[in-house]
Amino acid sequence: MKLPLSWLKALVEFDLGVEELVEVMSHSGLEVEDVTTPGAGAAGIRTARVLHWEPHPDADKLRFVRVTGDGGDGEVEVVCGAANFEVGDVVAHALPGGHVPGVTGPDGAKGMDLSSRKIRGLTSHGMLASPKELELGEDAGGILVLPPDTPLGSSLDDLIPVGEPVIEIAVQADRGDHLSVLGVARDLAAILDTTWRAPEVPDRPSGPSIPVSLRTDGCASFHTWVLEDVTIGGSPLWLRQRLTQSGMRPIDVVVDVTNLVMLELGQPLHAFDLDRIGGPSLTVREAADGERLVTLDDVERTLAAGDLVIDDADHPISLAGVMGGLDTEVVADTRRVLLEAAVWEPTTIRRTSRRLGLVSEASMRFERAVDPAGAARAVARAADLLVSLASAAATGSDVVATEPAPDWSQRPSVRLDPARVRRTLAVDLADEVQVALLERAGATVGPASVDAAPDIATSADAAGSVDAAG
């Protein structure tokens, strides 16, 4: 799990440098695998608008481009090998005298200083840089095209945290909560004796959502929000940067928001094009052996009995907990979106994912078990972001839950034995200190039990949480 430092700081209060933070994390059970600073060393990168381009007269695969960083008065000519931009696009112009860290220089060294030079007879004043050349993503097939409202002439590091530390941790099989920034923030708050905060979310709209029927115990709850008048387009630069820092590729504002919330809160979500859903209602059920579904990666999957699907009264439209279906994908002309957040049974998701050889960001989280209380917050958070970023209107919502709640979705209660904790840790901690430390770790401590913490399932876990928080 990759954790941009600024994202952690947005969710937990601390004032440590990255080296101090890594040391604290490493001594408290969070296994730090790497610390990177993508984009560090980038210099002289300015935003510019493409005014004109034409084919290079002596090179079929090159373009001769005119850009401006000040609205048109100061035009600069650049030779570029990419073809993913048009007149009017805002791009990242690496100026002569600047430095791009993700390029191998002529001497084989990492990083390259730029100058004005001739390329096939035409002078190129710097370069138009790709995300990979700037170490802001893995995309090397085209230049970085920025949102159209990006200020011209701005230094890129004034717009996004270029060179910010990103801490990568190993996630243990029983710590699915560490597949979210909030989960790690909660642990850091306990370790550092400080406060953590979840993002604020709006109340559910009172209008109707699509009716949903749960016909399996493999789904504990199913939350939906309806969004109207959605404008599909690119995400703002800060959101795209958060995703690329976390190892994910930006796609469009709807998909990006669902991925951002998953990384932030640990709850996977899915967005359906509501107008492409075939029936008037949805059914959550087990698949019939041999049923077929084309998933978002454009692969036809043969399902087996016991797989969980979401059905639109016509056919399966989503392989629950693993990947959505292509038929109801959000596309450029989508205007109505159904956001879904559900709580799926971990063993079933693991079995389906392994059988199909289809491991997704969603399945990784569901097979480790998500917080049953987190789905409502996550879908509300995503809807709120889309209202802000995609000019959407949240018009309806609903939640359907299996009653009684299936056993697998219940958090275990553990009897707290303070004397045993003292023996296990060989530390003389008073009862009230143990309770305070557990509460800092996110547990709810009652007169005879500890519950509601994702990593506490046994009395030994309780002792471990006291040790980590202390």
Cα-based distances in Å from 53 to 60, 149, 235, 453? 13, 21, 25, 57
Domains 49-159 and 212-408 alike in fold: no
CATH classification (class only), 2-37+164-192: alpha beta
Contact between residue 228 and residue 335 where contact means Cβ atoms under 8 Å apart: yes
pLDDT at 307 (0 to 100): 98
Contact between residue 367 and residue 184 where contact means Cβ atoms under 8 Å apart: no
pLDDT in tens, the chain (470 residues): 999 999 999 999 999 999 999 999 988 889 999 999 999 999 999 999 999 999 999 999 999 999 999 765 689 999 999 999 999 999 999 999 999 999 887 777 889 999 999 999 999 999 999 999 999 887 777 999 999 989 999 999 999 989 999 999 999 988 999 999 999 999 999 889 899 999 999 999 999 999 999 999 999 999 999 999 999 999 999 999 999 999 999 999 999 999 999 999 999 999 999 999 998 999 999 999 999 999 999 999 999 999 999 999 879 999 999 999 999 999 999 999 999 999 999 999 999 999 999 999 999 999 999 999 999 999 999 999 999 999 999 999 999 999 888 988 887 666 777 788 777 777 777 777 777 777 666 667 766 554 445 555 555 555 555 555 55
Cα-based distances in Å from 334 to 178, 229, 274? 33, 9, 8
Burial class (CB in 10 A: 0-12, 13-18, 19+), 102: buried
SS3 125: strand
Q: Which two tokens stand for residue 451?
A: 């519950």
The pTM for the full model equals 0.88
pLDDT at 198 (0 to 100): 94
pLDDT at 117 (0 to 100): 94
The domain 49-159 is placed in CATH, from the list 2.40.50.140, 2.60.40.1180, 3.50.50.60, 1.10.1370.40, at 2.40.50.140
* CB neighbour list of residue 74: distance below 8 Å, 6 or more residues apart: 68
Residue ranges of domains in the chain: 2-37+164-192, 49-159, 212-408, 418-469
Scored b (16 or more CB within 10 A) or e, 310-336 reads bbbeeebbbbbbbbbbbbbbbeeebeb
277: left (phi over 0), alpha (psi -120 to 50) or beta: beta
Looking at CATH, the fold of the domain delimited by 212-408 is given as: Phenylalanyl-tRNA Synthetase; Chain B, domain 3 (3.50.40)
pLDDT at 454 (0 to 100): 56
39: left (phi over 0), alpha (psi -120 to 50) or beta: left
